[in-house]
Amino acid sequence: MFNKILFLLLFVCFFSCKTSTESSFQNNSYSELTQPKLVVGVVVDQMRFEYLNRFKNKYTSNGFLRLINQGYSCNDHHFNYIPTYTGPGHASVFTGTTPSVHGIIGNDWYDRDKDEMVYCTTDPAYAPVGAAVKYGRVSPSNLKVTTLPDQNRLFTQMKGKTIGVSIKDRGAIFPSGHTANGAYWFEGLEEGKWVTSTYYMDELPVWVQKFNATSNISSYLKTWNTLYDISLYNESGPDASTYEKPFKGKSAPVFPYDLKALMEFNEGYDIIKNTPFGNTMITDFALAAIEAEALGSDQYTDFLTVSYSSTDYIGHDFGVNSVELQDTYLRLDLELERLLNYLDTKVGKGNYTLFLTSDHGAAEVPSFLKDIDAPGGYVQKNMFEPLYATLKAKYGVSDLIKNISNEQIFLNSDRIKSLQLDLVEVQEFIVNEIITYTAVSKAYTAATMQTSYFKDGIEKTLQNGYNQKLSGDVLFTLKSGIIAYGPKGTTHGSGYTYDTHVPLLFYGNGIRQGKTFARTNVTDVAPTIAALLGIAFPSGSTGTVIEKAID
């Protein structure tokens, strides 16, 4: 009798424990409410950190300020490499590493093997989908490591989706990574279409085809006037300015801008890119993607990467002190509000995590700097003519240099070998020559980058941007405020704070409210989000988790 009772007790205990274990598995499944259903990575192209504060009094409380006040802000956030361009910037944000590792050393660069300049996303193995696009033969193949969305796809057994959205192909392709379900960008010109590549698919989804309706795209061809009375834009310079580059077909860069009238002089639908309405179009497309792709609708975390590109085009044309730029950011603030409100409704408050940063900053217009007696200027087109002459005098030949681009000098290694010259000695000779040039601030050989370790300073940022297989034989930097650009508008690419200091805002599920003034780097973004999700870091990640940002 006792044995029967003992057997029954063990039997009940076994099934009770089994049920408890199964329940435990269910309760701790991937579908826990603490896991964000959607991660949205927002990159604002060419956004300097100061724009958060400079335009603060005119932002609404529900865009940038919502992210700042209810999220976690990193106020000393920087790019830790040179060059600060769009391609490397987007790649670094989402891989958690620098060009020295991920291999995107510029928007384009000199390829020694091909003896030509190559674009960062170019891949002849694939064809454009959706239109006869200029850069349609593209893929993420030049990106040598995985991205944050790639790791999420791997973690979820490819069940979590990834969609990338940007006006620029590089702004959609590099953030979304190698395993994206789709990456889309805008081709203007005569067609005005959102497009993709056969790397992702052979035909545009129906929802993209509908979005591409001519009547829809044409709706962004509006008259661009200031959002508020122009007299209120006292955080910027005067509207009529000699430092700005006007649209073709308009005599001066002043409001208003009739886009329909100007489009024929400015490459057709491409004019949308150079106005705030390009950002509006990006938001509209992103919302359509969330709806059509059912992002954030199941237990597997999805990724949406959104790169607002028009801020970069406008910054290049009008400069960082223009009314046009300020108006663009005030309108972008409303776009962020619209995006956040949609996420609240569609995905649900507390069900998504969003971060916002930039791919680089921008320099003040050098002609403006010169007029106020601040350091600034322009690179002369013939700056390197003396170098060719000096090399010929030294070595007796004029073909030792193959290419000069991205502030790097590529040597003709075959010619150097045939002359039985020492490559490092030639590199050092060039460094000693160009460091005497007025516009040059620093110069180093590739040999120095390979054999020395720099802890900080410009030297460290150069080293982080140096890729042993791809970069040049000599690297140099220009003095502060000096750029290789035209006399109107501005550009970026340096290691100075105006190009490296950008926003970093975390918001939503798993994010603590607060701020820090401790130094953070672009390489810290991906490992921080990976840590929040509990997934593996991107394969080349060299950044550090920003622990205080995670709740």
Q: Which sequence positions are flagged as catalytic?
A: 86
Distance CA 287, CA 296 (A): 12
Interacting residues of 336 by C-beta distance below 8 A, sequence separation 6+: 42, 63, 64, 66, 67, 356
Nearest to 527 by CA among 508, 495, 550: 550
Listed as own residue / partner, the contacts of 53-61 with beta carbons closer than 8 Å and 24 or more positions apart are 54/235, 55/235, 55/326, 55/329, 55/330, 55/333, 57/235, 58/228, 58/232, 58/235, 58/326, 58/330, 59/330, 59/333, 60/333, 60/334, 60/337
327, 233 in Cβ contact below 8 A? yes
Any idea what DSSP says for residue 345?
I
State whether residue 238 is helix, strand or coil. coil
State whether residue 156 is helix, strand or coil. coil
| Beta-strand relationship, 162-166 and 182-187 | parallel
Q: Residue 417: in which H helix or E strand, if any?
A: helix 413-418
Lookup result for tokens 């069940």: 159
Q: Take residue 233 and report the two structure tokens written for it.
A: 């834009």
DSSP for 55-123, please give it.
TGGGS-TTTHHHHHHHSEEEEEEE--SS---HHHHHHHHHHSS-HHHH---SSEEEETTTTEEEETTB-
Q: Residue 443: in which H helix or E strand, if any?
A: strand 440-445
Distance CA 435, CA 390 (A): 14
Distance CA 146, CA 181 (A): 15
Q: Where are the beta strands (DSSP E) in 128-267?
A: 128-129, 162-166, 182-187, 193-197, 223-224, 257-258
Query: Taking the alpha carbons of 111, 497, 526, 187 in that order, is the dihedral positive or negative?
Result: negative
Nearest to 445 by CA among 409, 398, 416, 413: 409
Interacting residues of 425 by C-beta distance below 8 A, sequence separation 6+: none
150, 181 in Cβ contact below 8 A? no
**Identity of the residue numbered 335:** E
Q: Take residue 477 and report the two structure tokens written for it.
A: 């930097």
